[in-house]
């Protein structure tokens, strides 16, 4: 049964349950929603994240989790991660999608969803991990070290930053006239397409299992 979404045209909406973790604008969440993928809940670690409004506009349940409320009361990051896992688990996800989630998750979270946590990163495998991937790629281009960058979607088995078994990649050429802004725009468009296609594939595969 499809739990959320539902477009009237385009590919069939796969069944399944996705919980999407966000921290910011949520353009990738929007791509999942617009594709009619079955997002059942959105969890943000920032109350102001615009992604929460996008979720609400699609009648998707939202949750806000606060690391500060944990550390202010003497609890640890692992305690927080265990709490986030509880919040996510309550929505019974088939996959947890990290779409612009800016908090490094420990095993207190990851061990609860083995092979079920999917991350999106705006760089190719083994290149430019971390929050400044696009700036780092653009700098590398200007220094003549690369001519293209890209996007990857990968599983998150452990606490490694932006690495883990790769599910899909796409390269994005860097054009001579590019600014950081124009490159960013092109990479984001590639992210939206790759994330939707990869998550759709995961759900289709899940359903096809005996």
Catalytic residue among 91, 121, 154, 192: 121
91 among known catalytic residues: no
Helix (H) or strand (E) holding 183: helix 180-208
Residues in the chain: 210
* Longest pairwise C-alpha distance within the chain: 51
User: How many amino acids of this chain bind ligand GRF (CB under 6 A)?
Assistant: 12
* Sheet bearing 166-173, strands edge to edge: 61-64, 39-44, 18-22, 95-98, 117-121, 148-155, 166-173
Cβ proximity to ligand GRF, 14 vs 150, nearer residue: 150
Min dist CB 108 to ligand GRF, Å, is: 21
Nearest to 165 by CA among 119, 105, 101: 119
Cβ proximity to ligand GRF, 94 vs 191, nearer residue: 191
Residue 198 as a binder of ligand GRF (CB under 6 A): the answer is: no
Residue ranges in 8-27 that form contacts with ligand GRF under rule CB under 6 A: 24-27
Pattern 119-158, ligand GRF, x by CB under 6 A: -xxx------------------------------------
Measured at the CA of 152, the angle between CA 24 and CA 64, to 5 degrees, comes to 25
Instruction: By CB under 6 A, name the one of 28, 44, 149, 198 that touches ligand GRF.
Output: 28
Min dist CB 153 to ligand GRF, Å, is: 9
Gap between the terminal Cα atoms of the chain? 17
Which residues of this chain interact with ligand GRF, rule CB under 6 A? 24-28, 51, 99-100, 120-122, 191
């Amino acid at each position: 049964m499809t739990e959320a979404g539902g477009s009237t045209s385009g590919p069939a909406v796969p069944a399944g349950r996705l919980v999407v973790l966000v921290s910011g604008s949520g353009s990738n969440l929007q791509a999942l929603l617009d594709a009619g993928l079955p997002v059942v809940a959105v969890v943000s670690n920032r109350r102001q994240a615009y992604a929460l409004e996008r979720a609400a506009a699609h009648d998707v349940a939202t949750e806000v989790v606060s690391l500060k409320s944990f550390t202010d009361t003497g609890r640890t990051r692992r305690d927080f991660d265990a709490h986030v896992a509880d919040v996510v688990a309550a929505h019974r996800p088939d996959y947890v999608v990290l779409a612009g989630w800016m908090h490094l998750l420990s095993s207190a979270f990851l061990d609860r969803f083995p092979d079920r946590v999917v991350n999106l990163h705006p760089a190719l495998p083994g290149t430019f991990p971390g929050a400044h991937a696009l700036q780092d790629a653009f700098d590398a281009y200007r220094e003549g070290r690369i001519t293209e960058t890209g996007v990857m979607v990968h599983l998150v088995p452990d606490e490694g930053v932006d690495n883990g078994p790769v599910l899909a990649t796409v390269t994005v050429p860097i054009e001579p006239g590019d600014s950081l802004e124009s490159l960013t725009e092109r990479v984001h468009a590639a992210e939206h397409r790759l994330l939707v296609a990869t998550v759709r594939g995961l759900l289709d595969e899940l359903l096809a299992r005996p």
